[in-house]
Chain A
Amino acid sequence: MLWRLSSALWFCAPFVVLLILWAVFIPYFDVNPRLFPHLSSVIQAGIEGIKDGTLIQHIGASLLRVAVGTVLALLIAIPLGIAMGVSPIISSFLTPLFRFFSVLAGIAWIPIATLWFGYGFGAITFVIFNAVFFIVTYNTLLGVSTIPLQVRNAAASLGAGRWAMLTEVLLPGALPNIVTGIRTGLGFAWRGLIAAEMIATNVGLGYMLFVARDFYRTEVIVLGMIVIGVLWLLLDRLVLAPIERATIERWGMVQRA
């Protein structure tokens, strides 16, 4: 526990140093606020945004899109990946395709997404969906194909039928790869989200950043950047990384980094 606390503090230390440098040097050199804001005005903008609800609204819109896009993607990607992974021929045939789309997934889809869904929720959720879907499908496929044949044989000779094979062997066996896929996919999704929101909507953190630029409101821009970064770190460190640790490392299925 003490160790966890000190490692968390150590993680925060460079940010604290950065904030101190910011608080000291921006006023010291009298930097034009149209180029870079004072720390105090960013804090001010944050408080105002919370008070009048706009910041919360933007955060809420962004998180909702990520949640919907991700859940939809997982609902389809995991069963599909497992189905494909069961057959070595299908999985090796499709692997290059999913690799290709994993790399492509993200903002490259925005133009076509806006043509299909118009500006707003649909297009952006589609971008998130793509970012998560291809990577998670590919990783699930990979995960299933890494389960040793003998482990599947063992389950079969202990009486596992089709359904038990799926829930007791294929799913947990692929889980390390699935979790890694979700973590990577969400990383791409989060970046894609911000970019998509700059182009294709009128609410959300990306939109907030982009509009503030038109009014030279650097304090809002920087506030947005901080919120985007902090939200991701919280999501990754407090949700995704612990899941990976709790299951996978204990199972000894991936080496400790």
Chain B
Amino acid sequence: MKDLTIRNLSKTYFDPYVGTNVTAVHDVSLKVEQGEFVCIVGPSGCGKTTILNMIAGFIPHTGGEILVGGRPVKGPGPDRGVVFQSFALFPWRTVLENVAFGPKMRGVRKVEREKIAHEYLALAKLTEAAGRYPAELSGGMQQRVGVVRALANEPDVLLMDEPFASVDAQTRMTLQEELTRIWQEKRPTVIFITHDVAEAVFLANRVVALSKGRVLDDIAVDLPRPRSWDALNDDARFKELSGRVLQLVRSA
């Protein structure tokens, strides 16, 4: 695990429909410490996915710099694990093989990498599903696989782009609780993107509010862990923090 530094990051797209340049990300600076869980929250279209895709190396940035453990990002790489809203599992691979994919790419031998995969599947209570194919699982189960697939590769930074947005509300709450539990156990550096203020406050150590491609403010979340919805639903501090973030996001 390493820290992540973003300095004066910007991104300008050429919009072929309008025929002009559109700046989706303006001069964003952010430092994420090793083992920290940061949520970036903002309304849709504010540039969240663009930021994440640049950190992941899927798209080039047009200004500033991104450093992981001090080294600049050039293209995608195993030091940055990604969890996608669309899950993006390999449909032709079993759950076990999906999770073992990263270690396989590192050249870990079959017996060893399956051991690793089983370990991570157990962490997400997926042991039963090891031999199934993704298409045979529910959305919630698929995203559990998506999360442990990224974790099993032991990335320095885990990047998550609205990973729970396409599962039902009940499952989402379970997944959020499980994620905080897994995070406490493994302590990865996480950047989690969401438009859901409550989700951001529930998960994070720190919430970064984004609007129109700019960072508005940075709010520390000092809620105790382990966190559960049962405990936090009526928690005064949780309500206060959520209220502040919401106000911030809406004020812009």
Q: Which of A133-141, A152-160, A185-193 contacts B (4 or more CB under 8 A)?
A: A152-160
- Complex-state Cα separation, A135 to B179, whole angstroms: 46
Closest to A150 in B: B88
- Complex-state Cα separation, A161 to B150, whole angstroms: 17
What residues of chain A lie closer than 8 Å to B76, measured between beta carbons? 153, 156-157
The A interface, classified by DSSP as helix, strand, loop or mixed, is helix
Q: A157-B56, A175-B92 are in contact. Are A251 and B102 (CB under 8 A)?
A: no
Within the complex, what minimum Cβ distance (angstroms) separates B162 from chain A? Answer: 12
Q: On chain B, which size bracket covers the interface?
A: 20 to 34
What residues of chain A lie closer than 8 Å to B78, measured between beta carbons? 157-159
Chain B proximity mask over A158-175: 1 for CB below 8 Å, otherwise 0: 111100100011001101
Within the complex, what minimum Cβ distance (angstroms) separates B127 from chain A? Answer: 21
Contact call A154/B82, Cβ cutoff below 8 A: yes
Q: How many A-B residue pairs have CB under 8 A?
A: 78
Tell yes or no: A253 within 8 A of B by CB. Answer: yes
What residues of chain B lie closer than 8 Å to A153, measured between beta carbons? 56, 58, 76, 82, 84, 88
Tell yes or no: A53 within 8 A of B by CB. Answer: no
Contact call B80/A251, Cβ cutoff below 8 A: no
Contact call A252/B133, Cβ cutoff below 8 A: yes
What residues of chain A lie closer than 8 Å to B220, measured between beta carbons? none
Chain A proximity mask over B124-168: 1 for CB below 8 Å, otherwise 0: 000000000111100000000000011001000000000000000
Contact call B92/A251, Cβ cutoff below 8 A: yes
Q: A157-B56, A158-B102, A158-B153 are in contact. Are A151 and B77 (CB under 8 A)?
A: no
- Complex-state Cα separation, A157 to B149, whole angstroms: 11
What residues of chain B lie closer than 8 Å to A159, measured between beta carbons? 77-78, 102, 105-106, 153
Which among B57, B88, B89 has the greatest number of chain A C-beta atoms within 10 A?
A: B88
Tell yes or no: A41 within 8 A of B by CB. Answer: no
What residues of chain A lie closer than 8 Å to B136, measured between beta carbons? 252
Within the complex, what minimum Cβ distance (angstroms) separates B152 from chain A? Answer: 9
What residues of chain A lie closer than 8 Å to B45, measured between beta carbons? none
Within the complex, what minimum Cβ distance (angstroms) separates B102 from chain A? Answer: 4
Contact call B88/A151, Cβ cutoff below 8 A: yes
- Complex-state Cα separation, A164 to B103, whole angstroms: 13
Q: A156-B76, A160-B105 are in contact. Are A172 and B92 (CB under 8 A)?
A: yes
Closest to A149 in B: B58
Contact call B88/A247, Cβ cutoff below 8 A: no
Within the complex, what minimum Cβ distance (angstroms) separates A164 from chain B? Answer: 6
Tell yes or no: A148 within 8 A of B by CB. Answer: yes
What residues of chain B lie closer than 8 Å to A158, measured between beta carbons? 78, 81, 101-102, 105, 149-150, 153
Given contacts A151-B90, A247-B92, A250-B135, 7 further A-B contacts (CB under 8 A): A148-B88, A153-B58, A157-B78, A157-B150, A173-B92, A252-B133, A252-B135
